[in-house]
């Protein structure tokens, strides 16, 4: 009887061994649909980037990638959900600057740290634009700064909420330009833009894709770009660096998986991501929306994420923003 049981066990091991080997090498990955967590609502810039990128990535992997919008708590709920999923590569995460580099430094109970994720590669980068109303008396960034310095704290900037790119990038601007713009948080970027156009607030630091329509319709006036190179979408708008401010910030996006995901699976995802990034149709669509592709390989992107986390931790400290 014991020999019979031992024989059955050995037979089972022989049957399981090929599957186990495939799992360890990533040869059979992916063999079922992949869940892509987007920790923000449908329709925003995060969702736009995810849907464009993950469609192309799915075609490259020959897999069905199902997007799950899981918003809440500034993106932390969806991020925690991805981290707590099985580390097998069948749950991937659209990580952003606000969720990966800002939130763990801003919230006491974010529930995660950047080290809980593996950075697979860069996806996209979005410059922001410093905008004022078309009816604003400020025709240039210099005139806006001069008005603030003449009466510090008299000019308000809006944001889509505490901890968003609008908020963090404007506070970095205060630090780097020596300004004293006051924060007025809104429940989303749309109501902040409405008040900007109506003259209730003086300025916004708004991601280019969401402000582009208003710029083209001449409802708002762009004064400067936040990245260190001009945007091809708004080539006549100078960078802050050109205007004498040591400033370079963007809203970036990348692909992440939970810590513990097998290295061969991560490598396969990274290779497929690089191939998807090279797709001309994807690049054309991104650029038409004011989105810059960020084809950064895994090692470089990992270093980039670490550097960004330090940058925003320093901004939070230097701007005296209290952790929530």
Q: Are 117 and 78 within 8 A, CB to CB?
A: no
Q: What's the CA gap between 212 and 131, in Å, rounded?
A: 11
At 301 the pLDDT is 97
3-class secondary structure, 19: helix
Instruction: Assess whether pLDDT exceeds 80 at residue 20.
Output: no
How does DSSP classify residue 101?
Answer: I
118 bridge partner residues: 257
Helix (H) or strand (E) segment spanning residue 121:
strand 117-133
Instruction: Assess whether pLDDT exceeds 60 at residue 8.
Output: no
**Mean pLDDT over residues 61-70, rounded?**
96
Q: How confident is the model at residue 24 (pLDDT cuts 50, 70, 90)?
A: low
Instruction: Assess whether pLDDT exceeds 70 at residue 65.
Output: yes
Q: Are 203 and 131 within 8 A, CB to CB?
A: yes
3-class secondary structure, 233: coil
Q: Which residue has the higher pLDDT, 164 or 54?
A: 54
3-class secondary structure, 130: strand
3-class secondary structure, 218: coil
At 14 the pLDDT is 45
Maximum CA extent, the chain: 93
Q: Are 123 and 49 within 8 A, CB to CB?
A: yes
At 151 the pLDDT is 97
Q: Are 183 and 160 within 8 A, CB to CB?
A: no
pLDDT in tens, 205-225: 999 999 999 999 999 999 999
Q: Are 21 and 15 within 8 A, CB to CB?
A: no
The region of weakest confidence among 26-30, 133-137, 147-151, 313-317 is 26-30
pLDDT in tens, 176-192: 999 999 999 998 888 99
């Amino acid at each position: 009887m014991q020999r019979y049981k031992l024989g059955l066990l050995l037979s089972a091991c022989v049957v399981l061994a090929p599957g186990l080997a495939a799992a360890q090498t990533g040869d059979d990955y992916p063999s079922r649909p992949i869940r892509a967590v987007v920790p923000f609502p449908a329709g925003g810039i995060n969702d736009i980037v995810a849907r464009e990128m993950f469609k192309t990535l799915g075609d490259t992997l020959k897999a069905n990638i199902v997007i799950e919008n899981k918003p809440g708590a500034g993106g932390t709920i969806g991020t925690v959900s991805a981290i707590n999923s099985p580390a097998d590569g069948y749950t991937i995460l659209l990580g952003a600057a606000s969720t990966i580099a800002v939130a763990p430094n801003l919230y006491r109970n974010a529930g995660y740290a950047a080290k809980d994720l593996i950075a697979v590669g860069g996806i996209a980068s979005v410059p922001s634009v410093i905008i004022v109303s078309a009816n604003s008396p400020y025709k240039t960034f210099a005139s806006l700064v001069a008005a603030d310095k003449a009466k510090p704290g008299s000019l308000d900037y809006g944001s889509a909420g505490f901890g968003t790119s609008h908020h963090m990038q404007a506070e970095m601007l205060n630090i780097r330009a020596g300004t004293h713009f006051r924060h007025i948080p809104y429940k989303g970027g749309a109501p902040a833009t409405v008040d900007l156009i109506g003259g209730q607030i003086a300025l916004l630091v708004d991601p280019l894709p969401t402000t582009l329509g208003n710029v083209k319709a001449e409802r708002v006036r762009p004064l400067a770009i936040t990245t260190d190179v001009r945007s091809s979408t708004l080539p006549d708008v100078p960078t802050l660096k050109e205007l004498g401010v040591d400033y370079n910030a963007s809203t970036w996006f990348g692909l992440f998986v939970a810590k513990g995901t097998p290295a061969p699976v991560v490598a396969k995802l990274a290779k497929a991501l690089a191939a998807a990034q090279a797709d001309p149709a994807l690049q054309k669509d991104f650029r038409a929306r004011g989105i810059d592709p960020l084809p950064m390989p895994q090692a470089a992107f990992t270093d980039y994420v670490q550097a960004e986390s330090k940058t925003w931790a320093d901004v939070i400290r230097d701007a005296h923003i209290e952790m929530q």
